[in-house]
Homo-oligomer: A and B are copies of this chain.
Amino acid sequence: MAKELTKIQRQILDHLIDQKAARGIQPTLAEIADYFGYKNRSTVQQHLQALEKKGFIKKNPKLSRAIELTLEDKFFVPRPVLGEVAAGNPLTIYPDAIDTIELPTIARMPKDSFLLRVKGDSLKDAYIFSGDIVIVNPNLEPKNGQIVVAVLDDAAVVKKFYKKKNEIELVSENPEFKPIVIDKKYPSFKLIGIVVGVYRSMSKKAG
């Protein structure tokens, strides 16, 4: 099943996943060809045949826009988890995806948002726990009191955000952790995004 994909086959598969997530519609062969700059559909046709042969997709013959992704279970779209963030003390963020979570698409997932797995308990009073997946939107302006993800000295944290005159305060709900105060000009501070949702799958917790 998990045969290896060539670079281009992988790109096309990724494009299918992206399109499904962003448009809710699978592209036609012509649209894929267009996207990759191919002069006709038959090139795409061949790549899809390869993908189907290797078990990654399933085509619904004769139907338009009917490419099924078999890597997902019937209802979930796999999305990469980009790293872990410490809700307590800062934790190093990983350069590549550390995992893949099957996000039920009930979860609000704006196109440019991404996922992080929370580690640590400092936000437990905000009902976010170690192991939870937070959905992070990088394109929103943070308001006071919102939970944000930030990078501080190459480590990522999940904290509540408060803007003061000349500084930014990142506080945990958990009193065990003291607020972090950063001067606004401090160079190695970077706001990553706002936590717009939390998701937790119960499937593993069977007894």
A residues near B, CB below 8 A?
20-21, 24-26, 28, 64-66, 74-77, 79, 101-111, 115, 127, 129, 132-133, 135, 143-147, 194-203, 205-207
Contacts and interface: CB of A to CB of B under 8 A. Distances in A.
Nearest to A107: B105
A105 B24 contact: yes
Contacts of A201: 108, 196-197
Contacts of A197: 104, 106, 199-203
A70 to B, nearest CB: 14
Given A104-B107, A108-B203, 20 more contacts: A64-B64, A65-B65, A75-B110, A77-B106, A79-B106, A106-B107, A106-B109, A106-B197, A127-B127, A127-B132, A143-B206, A146-B202, A146-B205, A146-B207, A195-B202, A196-B201, A196-B203, A197-B201, A198-B199, A199-B199
A129 B135 CA distance: 18
A104 B105 CA distance: 6
A43 B146 CA distance: 48
A135 B104 CA distance: 9
Contacts of A101: 106
12 contacts: A20-B24, A24-B106, A75-B109, A104-B106, A104-B107, A104-B135, A105-B109, A108-B203, A127-B129, A146-B205, A146-B207, A147-B202
A79 to B, nearest CB: 8
A63 to B, nearest CB: 8
Closest 5 CB pairs of A and B: A145-B207, A24-B105, A105-B107, A144-B207, A105-B106
A21 B106 CA distance: 6
A73 B103 CA distance: 19
Nearest to A134: B202
A59 to B, nearest CB: 13
A25 B26 contact: yes
A74 B106 contact: no
Contacts of A25: 24-26, 65-66
